[in-house]
Structure 1
Amino acid sequence: MERRSFLKKGTTAAAVLSSGAFGLSAMNAKKEETIIVDKYNYNLNYAPHLGMFQNHAGKDPIDQLNFMADQGFTAFEDNGMKGRSIETQEKMAKIMSNRNIEMGVFVAHKIYWKEPNLASGKEEFRKEFLSQIEESVAVAKRVNAKWMTVVPGHVDLRLNMAYQTANVVDSLKYASEILEKENLTMVLEPLNFRNHPGLFLSESPQAFQICKAVNSPSCKILFDIYHQQIQEGNLIPNIEACWDEIGYFQIGDNPGRNEPTSGEINYKNVFKYIHSRGFDGILGMEHGNSVNGKDGEIAVIKAYQESDKFL
């Protein structure tokens, strides 16, 4: 398989940085380690998360962000950003600004995995949700984020689906009023039935319908390619059908929910289509590594370099 120059000849598995602040430590790397020598220029804004490269960069978030930037990644996402200390958020925001890394999504609110909240229409759940959206506005400003993830929660088995949909739409309209003032966007994530049984939002056409009903630039779809491959398949036609309401993508191959090339999805073709539509947003790498350790981290980087060669 043809690849651009990626590994320095005469070395073996594992990788260290080749440039940047953290990259200075590569000068002292053991001889048996592989050194990544090219900073790859990706055609799309793929966003790793903390932990994905910690065998090379260590556990410190700042070192991990430097590693991502040194490898050519221009975005980053962190589902748990809201739960980090303000000091950590500010430090991460500073390094992202310095290294030209765009902040992707973080989870905006408490997700109800096993009981209905927004679908129920109960005022107590709506107030809680809107309060958490307001809290997330402060986080978004602190870390320079434009997007936040929203999952409407579990279905309400005592209500007709049409009533549940109306309840969810009403709550999202109120949230949109908050977010529009700050030029922020919540992205609704449909989740597949296998990993998350019983959730209200599971399919892209359903998310499309809800976004149309809310009718706000602050309410869009998070199209998670892994989830939708399981839930509905037919990926490129469904992306095309939902295109006007998609604000963000997430990535994961199936089976396994690991990096592209590890499963059945032809990510090179999917990325080619997304790029052909002029998408300049973020594609979050919300998946694991198919191989443990430094070898697995190299495999992730190589998989993205290979899958990005669609032009």
Structure 2
Amino acid sequence: MNNRRNFIKQTLSAVALASLTGFETYAKKAMTIEKHNFKLLYAPHFGMFKNSAGDDLFDQLQFMSDVGFKALEDNGMMARPVETQKKIGETMAKLGMKMGVFVVDGGDNWKTSLASGKSEFKENFLKTCRAAVEVAKRTNAKWMTVVPGFYERKLPIGIQTANVIDAYRRACDIFEPHGLTMVMEPLSDTPDLFLRNSDQSYLICKAVNSPACKILFDMWHMQRNEGQMTHNMDLVWEEIAYFQIGDEPGRKEPTTGEVNYRHLFKHIHEKSKANHQEFILGMEHGNMFPGKEGEQKLIQAYVEMDTF
């Protein structure tokens, strides 16, 4: 009975939104969609459901909302036209969705080494941070991803760490007055990357000492780099502001690899509820299976892992 009520309610809301926003084409597709009441704010990205919703970004947003997802993340938001950014922000507000992270992208972030202390890297980073403030305003975003880039192997690790801290303190001077938070992401893609572990990120957050500098705890990267995720998560919890998801191996949706995401989601849900917190969990992974059927399998994987 509850599913039937959700189905009827979702059909009516889709038709109503179509009349308001011009999603007539998508409203016809929405007739067969079941809406799920997820416990956590899982955030898909554009392209994840293009076989079900089509290529139009706003049809995709509508589909995400109709399925029950209440957030979006878009790493490439800064590269989108200003008018598209504004429309994304406006559409998400109408749908009651929250904006997750986008990347503070000033070029090839991996090779731009803040650890080097070189002024040209730092100034480009800060210039991009200032541009990111305007993007955040247009899209109602609160969080943006930052990475310090590669090691500078000619410098001692302590000097590199100090250089990153200095750059992040200056970035906080840009973000903090606007109530925005940059979330630093330890990565596993190559051993040449400076930021790789949660405790290292925690140390930098404590040294920067600003509400505008926190940790993005990407569970795919952390499984690859350090494991013991609930333990390490708890150790750095007070500095975490955002989570991302990906199963290992393969970096696909939960249930396709070795990570026990039901346990992790339950842990995050219970701990955040106890601390009166709310986190967005970015679905920064690929689809394991192709086509509409694969997209439905992805949705069902989240329904299954959200059951606790």
- TM-score, structure 1 normalization: 0.89
Map of 1:24 onto structure 2? 27
1:127-181 Cα distance to aligned partner (Å, 9 max, x none): 1111110000000001000000001000001101110000000000000011110
The equivalences for 1:91-106 within 5 A come to: 91-106=87-102
Map of 1:80 onto structure 2? 76
Map of 2:282 onto structure 1? 284
Task: Identify the match of residue 253 of structure 2 among 240, 255, 259.
Answer: 259
Q: Contact 1:173–1:214 at 8 Å: present in 2 too? A: yes
**Unmatched 5+ stretches in structure 1:** 7-16, 30-34
How many residue pairs end up in the alignment? 288
The equivalences for 1:208-287 within 5 A come to: 208-278=202-272, 279-287=277-285
Q: Contact 2:109–2:147 at 8 Å: present in 1 too? A: no
Following superposition, the deviation at residue 113 of structure 1 comes to 5.5
Alignment partner of 1:131 is 2:134: no
Map of 2:7 onto structure 1? none
The equivalences for 1:14-53 within 5 A come to: 20=14, 21=18, 24-26=27-29, 35-36=32-33, 38-53=34-49
Q: Contact 1:189–1:221 at 8 Å: present in 2 too? A: yes
Q: Contact 1:113–1:199 at 8 Å: present in 2 too? A: no
Map of 1:295 onto structure 2? 293
> Residue type of the partner of 1:207?
S
Counterpart Cα distance in 2 of 1:227 and 1:242? 15
Counterpart Cα distance in 2 of 1:293 and 1:174? 45
Following superposition, the deviation at residue 100 of structure 1 comes to 0.5
Query: What is the DSSP-based 3-state SS (H/G/I as helix, E as strand, rest coil) of the residue aligned with 1:140?
Result: helix
Query: What is the DSSP-based 3-state SS (H/G/I as helix, E as strand, rest coil) of the residue aligned with 1:277?
Result: helix
Change (3 A) 1:83 1:100: same
Following superposition, the deviation at residue 109 of structure 1 comes to 2.5
The equivalences for 1:143-222 within 5 A come to: 143-192=139-188, 195-222=189-216
1:274-298 Cα distance to aligned partner (Å, 9 max, x none): 0111241200000001001111100
1:221-270 Cα distance to aligned partner (Å, 9 max, x none): 00000000000000100110110000000000001100011111110000
Counterpart Cα distance in 2 of 1:48 and 1:174? 31
Q: Contact 1:116–1:155 at 8 Å: present in 2 too? A: no
Greater shift in the superposed pair: 156-165 or 114-123: 114-123
**Unmatched 5+ stretches in structure 2:** 5-9
Q: Contact 2:245–2:281 at 8 Å: present in 1 too? A: yes
1:109-133 Cα distance to aligned partner (Å, 9 max, x none): 3364664521011112111111110
Counterpart Cα distance in 1 of 2:201 and 2:216? 9
Q: Contact 2:112–2:121 at 8 Å: present in 1 too? A: no
Which structure shows the bigger proportion of residues in helix conformation?
A: 2
RMSD: 1.7
Counterpart Cα distance in 2 of 1:196 and 1:124? 23
> Residue type of the partner of 1:191?
L
1:181-203 Cα distance to aligned partner (Å, 9 max, x none): 000000000001xx233000011
